Structure 1
Amino acid sequence: MQCHFSLSIVYSFDGILVFGLLFICTCAYLKKVPRLNNWLLSEKKGVWGVFYKAAVIGTRLHIAVAVSCLAMAFYIVFLK
């Protein structure tokens, strides 16, 4: 069985969009877990601040992020 998924998806525009959406959704989910929220999302600046900012985007724009995830899933399943 051969896998058609390769690392070249990282270099495509839709691969970057998928990564960004999954990152935002994951950080928003981790914000709801108390121990991980204190550990991972406590910093608001610097490199670790990216996780905090993605969590804020995911929680404040949850409808737009959900619609974007559905649109990307439709694109990947039916159009690509």
Structure 2
Amino acid sequence: VTVYSLDGILVFGLLFVCTCAYFKKVPRLKTWLLSEKRGVWGVFYKAAVIGTRLHAAVAATCVVMAFYVLFIK
């Protein structure tokens, strides 16, 4: 999967949101990486919030994307 295609960008975005949501559950990483809510570092915080609030939709999208990458593409 290349990053320069639409499906590559979607895979990267999903992995980024899932990783940041995981970082929110780890106390040391939460204080180190997710303490800023604005600016460049705020992107990590916002992705973590999206991953935790929309966890069902993110999980379903990950399953659909995995099926697409493995079997269709």
- Could you tell me the TM-score, scaled by structure 1's length? 0.89
Match of 2:19 among 16, 26, 39: 26
Which residue in 2 is equivalent to 1:62? Answer: 55
Q: CA RMSD in A?
A: 0.8
Within 1, Cα distance between the matches of 2:45 and 2:66? 25
The number of equivalent residue pairs is 73
Report Cα offsets for 1:41-76 as digits up to 9, x if no partner: 000000000000000000000000000000000000
Higher CA-based Rg: 1
1:12-51 superposed matches below 5 A = 12-51=5-44
Which residue in 2 is equivalent to 1:78? Answer: 71
Once the two structures are TM-superposed, the CA of residue 10 in structure 1 deviates from its matched residue by 1.0
Report Cα offsets for 1:15-42 as digits up to 9, x if no partner: 0000000000000000000011001000
Q: Percent identity?
A: 78
Runs of 4+ residues over 4 Å off in structure 1: none
Aligned to 1:50, what secondary structure does the other structure show?
A: helix
Within 2, Cα distance between the matches of 1:74 and 1:43? 35
